[in-house]
Chains A and B, each alone.
Chain A
């Protein structure tokens, strides 16, 4: 009887061991820390996680073939970095960077277009260096009784109390200019905070997706998201002009796309810089980080704004205005608000 129990115990133990080997253990691909291993790791990470191959009509296998044949076992780290950086530029994506200790590869579209923004002109000739700052927002009342606020980065958290002070101070103005030129983005939660002051009801802000697997088309169904008016805080319901340029990227691009859907808002300036994919980050065996667009965000009409949001009034800075210390885009925005009185 005791022998039988012993055999049962042994059998049970063997079953347990077999079940353990059938368990959730799933191997990750391993790459060597050499030029080929790092290149293959980069290519595979992008192949499995990047969200816009089809939208941008990029043949990623062809890209691999073209760039991999340029590899050599003895190439320097710098040469490998430049080769990999060039490969990533094929994606035409401002959110896609290879990040090493010595450099960051980039495709920053705003570097190829007019800047359309000179902070010094505004500070000196429009604000007379007389402005207030709160929670990352510079604000003042311009001539013609127009309110002006410049938000340099959505990475600067906006405090609701600070925003109350800003909007209270500007509440007597006939209209408000929100300048988000060269605002390279930041936290999407700040977009919600700011938009919440300019809506009087629940709005459909857009939709978000994410990759569900390694296939190029493994995407989740778009998830619609909505913004509510901020409760118990000051709201601004007069006409608003948002000024944007190509440097208005990522979260700022998202902000502009949502504000554009509001009836009292006019977008003035250049096409925004795009960047509608929420970026994720991964890593190569040599420790370089790679950032890439992973979660597409669409506007309320279901359109991707990866290549930017068209303004309602397209205008570039003119050389004559620059010579006269005028900001063409700001003048146009003021004109829009004066006209709407």
Chain B
């Protein structure tokens, strides 16, 4: 018993000394890695509420991502906010009908960071995320099933691998990021339910608990960030896979896109400014 009390006291002392060291000797600055990205690529869209035929065509997206070390334990934890809109104009295989897809999303995640994994330049991050995603797919050739509305809220996992290196004297950051919703809630009309019936008030069976058995959604992003002075130019590839099966309705959406982005690391300046001796803890770079 005495040994247990001694251990607890030592642990408390150690924590308090550690916290005191950090607060006394180190001022930490946490820059926000902001990136504006434009995607251009191909979308494959199947929504059996609208048509049993898979459509394909151009996919575009605009995304903003802000990544920052957290206020607590900034060396070990990183958070990221991402918002974006995407548009796809797709055609049926014979080319006589088209659909438009317009989606938007907001995602917030927090990841634990391990530095120097395998090599000193490699960081691995793994954590959780929550995502709100919604939009419409519109098929003008249809009658009362002219539009398919999509909405889901999910929580899941996200991870990131970041490798900082150089090309000559040019700093280069290679990264792979994946987000993987695991569970949530999503909207789906019934098999042949019209939106008019929903308008009349029948909302039965529209909300579904989502899990990998009825909904799978994954986004993969591979990027190379070139550091040109204070500006970061991003080139990459993004892939999104969405599958859902609810009320005997099938949705398959797959996008492949070239990503071009521009951004930088920004510090929020307080009235007192950033102290010269501040320790800068970057989220990625």
- Please list the residues of chain A having a beta carbon within 8 angstroms of any beta carbon in chain B: 16, 19-20, 22-26, 28-29, 33, 41, 45, 49, 51, 101, 188-189, 208, 210-214, 218, 220, 223, 225, 278-283, 285-287, 289, 291, 294-295
- Min CB distance B92 to A, Å, is 6
Is there an interface contact between B142 and A281, defined as CB atoms closer than 8 Å? Answer: yes
**Distance A208 CA – B145 CA, assembled complex (angstroms):** 16
Closest 7 CB pairs of A and B: A23-B216, A211-B192, A281-B142, A287-B94, A287-B96, A26-B245, A225-B200
Kindly list chain A residues whose C-beta atoms are within 8 Å of the C-beta of B214: 24
- Min CB distance A3 to B, Å, is 12
Is there an interface contact between A281 and B143, defined as CB atoms closer than 8 Å? Answer: yes
Binary interface encoding of chain B residues 139-164 relative to chain A, with 1 for a CB under 8 A from any of its CBs, else 0: 10111110000000000000000000
**Distance A22 CA – B97 CA, assembled complex (angstroms):** 33
Supplied contacts A26-B245, A33-B94, A295-B196, 15 more A-B pairs, CB within 8 Å: A23-B215, A24-B243, A25-B245, A25-B252, A45-B52, A188-B196, A208-B200, A210-B190, A214-B248, A220-B190, A278-B144, A278-B196, A279-B144, A280-B192, A286-B94
Kindly list chain B residues whose C-beta atoms are within 8 Å of the C-beta of A33: 93-94
Q: Which of A22, A280, A286 has most B Cβ within 10 Å?
A: A280
Q: Does B18 contact A (CB under 8 A)?
A: no
Is there an interface contact between A25 and B243, defined as CB atoms closer than 8 Å? Answer: yes
Closest to A208 in B: B197
Tell me whether A280 and B190 are in contact in the complex, defined as CB-CB below 8 angstroms, given that A22-B212, A29-B52, A101-B96 are known contacts.
no
Kindly list chain B residues whose C-beta atoms are within 8 Å of the C-beta of A101: 96
Q: Does B48 contact A (CB under 8 A)?
A: yes
Kindly list chain A residues whose C-beta atoms are within 8 Å of the C-beta of B201: 223, 225
Kindly list chain A residues whose C-beta atoms are within 8 Å of the C-beta of B266: none
Q: Does B165 contact A (CB under 8 A)?
A: no
Closest to B212 in A: A23
Is there an interface contact between B216 and A25, defined as CB atoms closer than 8 Å? Answer: yes
A22, A26, A218, A281: the one contacting B191 at CB < 8 Å is A218
Closest to A281 in B: B142
**Distance A48 CA – B191 CA, assembled complex (angstroms):** 10
Is there an interface contact between A24 and B94, defined as CB atoms closer than 8 Å? Answer: no
Kindly list chain B residues whose C-beta atoms are within 8 Å of the C-beta of A189: 196, 199
Is there an interface contact between B194 and A210, defined as CB atoms closer than 8 Å? Answer: yes
Is there an interface contact between A281 and B216, defined as CB atoms closer than 8 Å? Answer: no
Kindly list chain A residues whose C-beta atoms are within 8 Å of the C-beta of B97: 283, 287, 289
Q: Which of B53, B54, B180 has most A Cβ within 10 Å?
A: B53
Closest to A2 in B: B118
Secondary structure type dominating chain B contacts: loop
Kindly list chain B residues whose C-beta atoms are within 8 Å of the C-beta of A208: 194, 196-197, 200, 202
Tell me whether A24 and B244 are in contact in the complex, defined as CB-CB below 8 angstroms, given that A223-B200, A295-B192 are known contacts.
yes
Q: Does B51 contact A (CB under 8 A)?
A: yes
A16, A22, A29, A214: the one contacting B213 at CB < 8 Å is A22
Is there an interface contact between B248 and A23, defined as CB atoms closer than 8 Å? Answer: no
**Distance A19 CA – B181 CA, assembled complex (angstroms):** 13
Q: Which of B51, B52, B93, B142 has most A Cβ within 10 Å?
A: B52
Q: For this complex, into which size category does the number of interface residues on chain B fall?
A: 35 or more
Kindly list chain B residues whose C-beta atoms are within 8 Å of the C-beta of A24: 212-216, 243-245
**Distance A202 CA – B163 CA, assembled complex (angstroms):** 67
- Min CB distance B217 to A, Å, is 9
13 contacts between A and B (CB under 8 A): A16-B180, A23-B212, A49-B192, A208-B197, A210-B190, A211-B192, A212-B191, A285-B94, A287-B92, A289-B142, A294-B194, A295-B192, A295-B194
Closest to B124 in A: A9
Is there an interface contact between B53 and A285, defined as CB atoms closer than 8 Å? Answer: yes
A26, A223, A286: the one contacting B197 at CB < 8 Å is A223
Q: Which of A28, A41, A188 has most B Cβ within 10 Å?
A: A28
Closest to A187 in B: B196
Is there an interface contact between A223 and B192, defined as CB atoms closer than 8 Å? Answer: no
- Min CB distance B126 to A, Å, is 10
- Min CB distance A296 to B, Å, is 11
Kindly list chain B residues whose C-beta atoms are within 8 Å of the C-beta of A41: 52
Is there an interface contact between A294 and B144, defined as CB atoms closer than 8 Å? Answer: yes
Is there an interface contact between B192 and A282, defined as CB atoms closer than 8 Å? Answer: no
Kindly list chain B residues whose C-beta atoms are within 8 Å of the C-beta of A281: 139, 141-145
**Distance A18 CA – B144 CA, assembled complex (angstroms):** 38
**Distance A214 CA – B191 CA, assembled complex (angstroms):** 8
Q: Does B183 contact A (CB under 8 A)?
A: no
Is there an interface contact between A28 and B52, defined as CB atoms closer than 8 Å? Answer: yes
Closest to B178 in A: A16
Closest to B244 in A: A24
> B77-111: which have CB < 8 Å to A?
92-97
Kindly list chain A residues whose C-beta atoms are within 8 Å of the C-beta of B220: none
- Min CB distance A216 to B, Å, is 13
Kindly list chain A residues whose C-beta atoms are within 8 Å of the C-beta of B52: 28-29, 41, 45, 282-283
Kindly list chain A residues whose C-beta atoms are within 8 Å of the C-beta of B96: 101, 287
Kindly list chain B residues whose C-beta atoms are within 8 Å of the C-beta of A211: 191-192
Kindly list chain B residues whose C-beta atoms are within 8 Å of the C-beta of A295: 144, 192-194, 196-197
Q: Does B66 contact A (CB under 8 A)?
A: no
